[in-house]
Each structure stands twice: as C-alpha cells, then as structure tokens.
Structure 1
C-alpha cells in the first residue's frame, strides 16, 4: 500500500477544505453522482494499483500535513480539447492526523505507510490540534 501527499493550494485550514469539497467537483463537471470528493490532476499516478481502495491522499495545508482522505478510485477524464486528466475520487471524510511539517513541492509525492503521520483520536481536542500544528511548524514535533 502507498499513499499520496498533495499540497492543498489556496486553502488555509481544514475547515476551508471541508467547505470546498462539495463544490469543487462541479467546477469541472466531475460529478460522479455519489457522495465523494474529487480532485483533478494532470497525470495518472504510476503506482495507482497500490493506492486505490487502500491508500489515502494526505493534504498539506499551510506547510503541515494535517489530514487525509481515503482514495476510493482513480478515473480518467478527457476535456473538450482532448487533454487527459486523472480524477482522484476520495471519501468525503477528512481524517485529522498528527500535524507533520512538509516543505513545498510540485505535483504529488508518494508516501510509504511507515512514514505517514498517525491519525488523531476521534475525540481530539481542537486546541491540542492547533498547538500541535504550531509545534510542528517550529520543528519541535
């Protein structure tokens, strides 16, 4: 199993990402007729089989990996001009993770399970999450 790390460009918080997840797919006509979150990217991952149904996309928001979404499937899409894209179809559930600092990069990066930040407890405290994010930015955790 392999995961994907992706910058969440233009988003400054998990709450903002939650607000986008329901409307973004409609921007490019990627409505799959079900309760999913879709992110369109240019290239199909070469290690797709290792991700689909078992991996997650880990979102980097403001320089910190802070949440993930399970990847349900990857779909191809061709626009009106014939350009091919990959739709990453994910569960709408955002799972908060222990904050982990991540420097900027382009595209996505693969993430081994052993290197992935663990999930926060379901009863996680928002104040503790904010403190952990601040400590991660300082390189203390």
Structure 2
C-alpha cells in the first residue's frame, strides 16, 4: 500500500492538471463560439436542434466525450512537459478530467457540448485509452 501511495506522489500532477485545464479551456471557447453562432444564425439553430434530437443526440454527447479524452492525450504529446505517458498516467487523467468536468459544469451552466451523463463519461474514458493506446505498458 505504501508503494502505491509513493507512486501517486511521484506523478507529475502539475503537468497533468495543466493539460486538463487547457483541454477544458479549448472546450469552453468552442462552446462560447457555438452559443454565439446559434444566437446569430437561424440555420445553425435548426441544425443544432436536429443534431441534438434523441437518436443522434446521444451519439453527439458520446463523440464529444471521446474528443475530450483524445484531446488531453494529444495536448500532452505536443507540449514539452515532464509527463511520461503510461497506463498509470492515463488512469490518473480520468479522475482529473471528471473533477474538472464537474467544476466546468458548475461554472458554465448552459452546457451544450459537455454533460455529466454516463454516455459522456464513457466517451472520455474511451477517448483517453483510444488515443493513449501506444502508451499502454
């Protein structure tokens, strides 16, 4: 048990949290632009109503979750940091993303892209391990 706690202490928490924060900043900017586009364009408003209709809306939420999970791995790959991606780091990224998602949801109440549904959370997990597949060891 002591070895597990020591390994958790030695993880690069600041770099991981910076990547997660940058991911949600990108999502927030995309969401603000989407809200602005919906308020300015009737065509975009109708398109979003069709996309978020019940059969396709679940796939959109799942796809956004996969995109968020893959984006955080991509940002870690391209940013010079102390993060050595392995299975442990990917598993640690998952609770970091979830906690930050709940904080993000409390700051930005009218959320279009992200939700705290099980579908989005499964999408985040699948996106993390799909993009992080080369780092499984």
The structure with the largest strand share of the pair is 1
Question: Does the pair score TM above 0.5?
Answer: no
Q: Which has the higher contact order (CA 8 A, sep 6+)?
A: 2
The TM-score normalised by the length of structure 1 is 0.28
Q: TM-score, normalising length from structure 2?
A: 0.28
Higher helix share: 2
